Structure 1
Amino acid sequence: MKAPPEQNAGDYALEACNLGKSFGGFDAVKGVNLKVRRGSVHALIGPNGAGKTTCFNLLTKTLTPTTGKVLLDGKDITHLRTSEVARLGLVRSFQISATFPHLTCLENVRVALQSGHGKSFRFWSPISSVEPLNGQAMDLLEQVGLAESAALTATELSYGKKRALEIATTLALEPRVMLLDEPTAGMGHEDIAPITELIRKVSAGRTTLIVEHNLSVVSNLCERITVLQHGEVLVEGTYDEVSRNEEVITAYMGGVDAL
């Protein structure tokens, strides 16, 4: 009798299988294997130049891999376009980010909702044609703590609130798998805790993969962590396991204050 597999393939919402990307002979990502468990928050970390952004771009179809494949819910999406995988529920936060600076928060979310409903945005359309989306837009703003800022333009928001607005526009696309690319980058200390709690809240019931330099955020949010170095997986485990790994400590030496 054959032994049962260690894990059921259905346990994983997003997988990278021997994923690689070369640029003119330079291997930016090499043989990356990654499995993101359904309903979990998983971090992808590594020192500068480790290949995190390239790997993210491969997963969200911004780049086409040189080798390997990407699976979403077990389905091979390697050769699909970004718009196609977004319709399947894989959405990268801030990829639509051109939050429109001179539109209000409500209008920004409404534009994203139009996209999610397969409707193109037309500036010359009468306002009455999109008013039915206002209730849903307000619900999303409520979720991210921006209901009272609905009438403010994006330029009037603090940096942390702009990030919250970007998360609201991402939620408008109804992601089942959400990829967050450095959500606290550039934030002041006062904004990090609220955004961390917001990510925890909106990740409930979803699968989330996050690239993040702030390791206190990673330790607070993420159940599993994959560490990249020189485009390859160095180690994977819980935060406690990874933070005690001598290879990880060496890779980060001088790159962060502490693990």
Structure 2
Amino acid sequence: MTANDFILETRGLSKGFRGFTAVNGVNLRVTRGTIHALIGPNGAGKTTCFNLLTKFLEPSAGQILFNGEDITHERPAQIARRGIIRSFQISAVFSHLSVLENVRVGLQRRLGTAFHFWRGGASLAVLDEQAMALLGEVGLAEYAHTLAVELPYGRKRALEIATTLAMEPELMLLDEPTQGMGHEDVDRVTALIKKVSAGRTILMVEHNMSVIAGISDTITVLQRGEILAEGAYAEVSKNPQVMQAYMGTAEAELEGAHG
């Protein structure tokens, strides 16, 4: 592979907190047009990595490259404008806006008109059309005029993905997209992630091993802030170091998802 195949690359990425090293010399390469999963036991440094990539934290050392350009010292707003859009572990939607209005906010941000409250109805009608198309893509068209607060949890996560898509991400960062969901919602959101990945790149942190096994092209396993293993699921799930790092129930999960 050439450097152009990698949409995102980190070189020696590190972050320390008062003597504790949360991320240590991580060299991550995310291939364009793939679903790349970042996994590891609790405290492995996954969320810290996400915070470094989106510049909610400044690295102690190392580089972050996006489309070959060094973005290490850019601010979060600059990162977002480049097309790196993150959805958070806790559903981040405007509860008392309708589903349609939530997506429209995302569209207005992208157009740079988020605070143009005086804009006429015609411009909003254009956004409504785009918003409805996005809601159709994530299976929420019938909920367009429902308040977000009234949506079931799994549908809220689908709405969050729709608002993320509204920002036209080149790289979507999904932080625990199926956390706290029942089996049916997990299946629905997993299928949705697979669907919206067409023509996009997704980097996701996820604990559910069957989700990882079903949709990931590449998996990077972190342990104590360092890369322990990397590769396809079939390869990583058989790695003795990975199984030892997870131990107990998670090891059974690894084997069960593989089977």
Whether the 8 Å contact between 1:104 and 1:151 is mirrored in structure 2 is yes
Matched, 1:58 2:88: no
* Structure 1 alignment gaps of length 5 or more: 1-6
The root-mean-square deviation of aligned C-alpha atoms, in Å, is 1.5
Does the 8 Å contact 1:14/1:70 carry over to 2? Answer: yes
Shift in Å, 1:97: 5.6
Residues 89, 177 of structure 2: 8 Å contact kept: no
Contact in 1 for aligned 2:37/2:218 (Cα 8 Å):
yes
CA contact (8 A) 2:173 2:203 kept: yes
Query: By how many angstroms is 1:94 displaced?
Result: 3.4
What secondary structure is seen at the aligned counterpart in 1 of 2:72? coil
Distance 2:10 2:149 in 1: 37
Matched, 1:115 2:136: no
Residues 1-259 of structure 1 aligned to structure 2 (within 5 Å): 7-94=1-88, 98-121=92-115, 125=118, 128=121, 130-254=124-248, 256=250, 257-259=252-254
Determine if contact 1:13/1:72 at 8 Å carries over to the other structure: yes
Q: Does the Cα contact within 8 Å between 1:96 and 1:170 map onto a contact in 2?
A: no
1:96, distance to aligned residue in structure 2 (A) = 10
- CA deviations on 1:65-107 (whole Å, 9 max, x unpaired) are 0000111000001111111111111111238963110100000
Assess if the C-alpha contact under 8 Å between 2:135 and 2:144 holds in 1.
Answer: yes
| Percent of residue pairs identical | 61
**Contact 1:229/1:251 (8 A) holds in 2:** yes
TM normalised by structure 1 equals 0.94
Cα offset for 1:148?
0.3
Larger helix share, 1 or 2:
2
Are residues 94 and 140 of structure 1, via their aligned partners in 2, closer, same or farther at CA, if it must alter by over 3 Å? farther
SS in 2 for 1:70: strand
Deviates more, 1:112-121 or 1:170-179: 112-121
Q: Provide the C-alpha distance between the structure 2 equivalents of 1:181 and 1:230, rounded to a whole number of angstroms.
A: 19
Q: Residue 253 of structure 2 aligns to which amino acid in structure 1?
A: A
Aligned AA for 1:117?
L
Cα 1:55–1:247 shift into 2, 3 Å:
same
> Which amino acid counterpart does residue 47 of structure 1 have in structure 2?
P
C-alpha distance in 2, partners of 1:153/1:69? 42
* TM-superposed deviation, 1:130: 2.4
Which letter does structure 2 place at the counterpart of 1:12? F
Match in the other structure for 1:3: none
Provide Cα deviations, 1:190-234, integer angstroms capped at 9, x if missing partner: 101110010001011011111000010001110110000000000
Partners of 1:79 and 1:255 lie apart in 2 by 40
The alpha carbon displacement at 1:254 in A equals 2.9
* Residue identity opposite 2:222 in structure 1: L
**Structure 1 residue 120, shift from structure 2 partner:** 2.2
